Amino acid sequence: MRVAGIDGGGGAWTVALWEGRSVRIQRCRSLREVIPLSPSVVGIDMPIGLPSRREPGGRRADREARRRLGRRGVCVFSPPVRESLSAATYREALGINREAGGGISVQCFGLFPALRELDDWMREDPSRRDWVKEVHPELSFMAMNGGRPMEQSKHTPEGIRCRISLLDEALFLPRCGRRMEEVLGPLPAAWREHVVDACAALWSALRIVEGTAERLPPEEERDSCGLPMEIWY
C-alpha cells in the first residue's frame, strides 16, 4: 500500500510517498504525475472545497482550525470563493470576493494557479474525493506534540528543528526505524519547509488509513460542486 502527503508551493508539488517501510520524496510539476505513483490515500496541504460566499473567518473548517491552533492559527488562510478562480488579475479576484462578502490577500491570489489545478483535478473525477483529503501541517504537528500548537514558526531554524524532531518520533522512527535525515539525507534549504510539510501531510494521511485521524468540522460539509470542505489531521 502506498500513501502520500503533498505540499504545494515553489511552483511544484512536493510529494512524500510511503511505500511500506520507507518514505520517498518526489517533486511533481503537475498533480497528474501523482496518479502513476498509485497512492491509496493522499493528504494534501491545499484547500479542496471552496465556498460560494465569504464568511468571516472563512469556512467552518478554517475557523475551527484557527481556534485549535491558537496564535499559530495565523497559518490557516481562508480560501477564495470558487467564482474568483477564473480571475486574471488580483484586482478582479478581489472585486469578486468582496461582492461575495469579503476580500482576499495578495498572498492568497498567488496560490490561484495551484488552487485552480487542484479544483480541476478533483472535479474531473468524483472518485478522488474519497481518497484525496485536505490536511493542514500545523494541525498535524499539534497532534504529534500532544495537542499543543507549535511555539515557533516553521520559518525559523528552531521551528524547523522542532518539527523534524516530531516527525522523527511520530513517523520515521516507528515506521522506518531511522530518523528523517537518515532516510531522506540532508534537505536543501530552499526545499526544506516543503518536505517537512509534505511529511506532516503524509503522517495525517496514514492516520486516515488507520482510522485514527480527526476531521474539522466533525460533520460533513460540501461546497456547491460536491467537494468536501473539511480539514483532516
- Cell numbers at residue 60, please? 467552518
- Cell numbers at residue 188, please? 536543501
Residues 69 and 139 sit within 8 Å (Cβ to Cβ): yes
pTM value? 0.95
From residue 177, alpha-carbon distances to 62, 170, 173 in Å are 35, 11, 4
pLDDT at 21: 87
- Cell numbers at residue 31, please? 498533480
Can you spell out the DSSP letters for 116-136?
HHHHHHHHH-TTHHHHEEEB-
pLDDT tens string for the chain (233 positions)? Answer: 899 999 998 889 999 999 988 999 999 999 999 999 999 999 999 999 999 999 989 999 999 999 999 999 999 999 999 999 999 999 999 999 999 999 999 999 999 999 999 999 999 999 999 999 999 999 999 999 999 999 999 999 999 999 999 999 999 999 999 999 999 998 888 899 999 999 999 999 999 999 999 999 999 999 999 999 999 99
Burial degree of 189 (CB within 10 A; 0-12, 13-18, 19+): exposed
DSSP 227: -
Q: How far apart are CA 135 and CA 137, in angstroms?
A: 7
150 phi and psi angles, rounded to 5 deg: -65, 145
- Cell numbers at residue 24, please? 520517498
* 135 closest CA partner among 65, 55, 218, 36: 65
Residue with cell 503537475: 30
pLDDT at 189: 83
CATH topology of domain 1-77+119-233: Nucleotidyltransferase; domain 5 (3.30.420)
